[in-house]
Structure 1
């Protein structure tokens, strides 16, 4: 439930991806880093001078040996155009992933988000790569394992998420929905809508999750603005910033009329 693939397949990552995040205060501001998973196992510890290596705890050296996804640059940097990043991803055949929202003023958060999201992307790649080494299961084995599908891992995870985490997830999915609408990708749009409805159904009615979802999948430009307003209103409610809610609701009414 972390990074959302706008281009590519989470079940078969390419090992190189643009990771984008939007400013939590202004969704038009986009930050980006490029994540690479080395195709050949690499240990940073091998390249450290003995003097430095002796000063690093053995646990940290082990982590350096198990290096997976690397963000380049190591901090999310502002980009002039999301369209340019999309074009680059197409031309270079890179994955393109939305990793959520981040504060424009918090450089530490931008660095941490780049590191954590790269690690998550690396884990997805490692999981995919490990399947290439496994023998193909027989039909009988697949049928025997079928009852496990009744356990909905996504639903279980949603149940454990806080309201803030659910809103953050909706924020990511709004971006995915708008991307699907722009690219006329009906399959991605329907899947995104289903996931948004799932999350909205677990939120308290005061957050108006159903209206948010309806706005997010509305192809009209007004839909994108309404979705942002509903999301902003939800965050204001969550943070108990009630004084700012009437103005947001007024803007929602003006766009809805």
Structure 2
């Protein structure tokens, strides 16, 4: 039986000379970027710079206008089950229970009902929502809905998780809780994560590296991954560099 303990091999994502956007309206040009298997790459940039476009291109929702966008060296030509996309809006199906929402990617793949229920139940335990399994989305809070969305994204065992400012609409306390939860639940999955955010501190807390979309630089993040490390000189220097990139 599939379990949440199963570790996947993270996907290697790459862009080479990529021009991204819609026909007649490119928003990013000449993008060269590597995302290593199993790493968390956070992406920061000013509003309108193309962060969400980058994510949707990696998801296969928007084709590149030029250049190459690949997964493990193969062109990305459309959506695939090896990639999961997590939005700021929870995008849960209101007519399905919380557990049925988490089961959805497994149901689409034809996983037997008993197996997908066991996987969904295990993931709801992991995100702290076992008591809400039979509730419908309108009966739970915004933070809880984001927990369900995270559980749904990971229940299918994706090799890459693409996250578009998923905590942006949450209050500060709930956002902090979700950040710690994300770190905890990703531990051991092996999945590659690309996490778009406008929050500099969130980018530094969650990322192994931070991609500065406005300048094309990718910077390593000092460790440990802990809010208390914010006062470390290396972390403070990184924060200054990220903030400077937002004003270019």
Q: Confirm or deny a common fold (TM above 0.5).
A: no
After TM superposition, the score normalised by the length of structure 1 is 0.28
Instruction: Report the structure, 1 or 2, having the larger strand content.
Output: 2
What is the TM-score with the length of structure 2 in the denominator?
Answer: 0.28
> Between Structure 1 and Structure 2, which shows a larger proportion of helix residues?
1
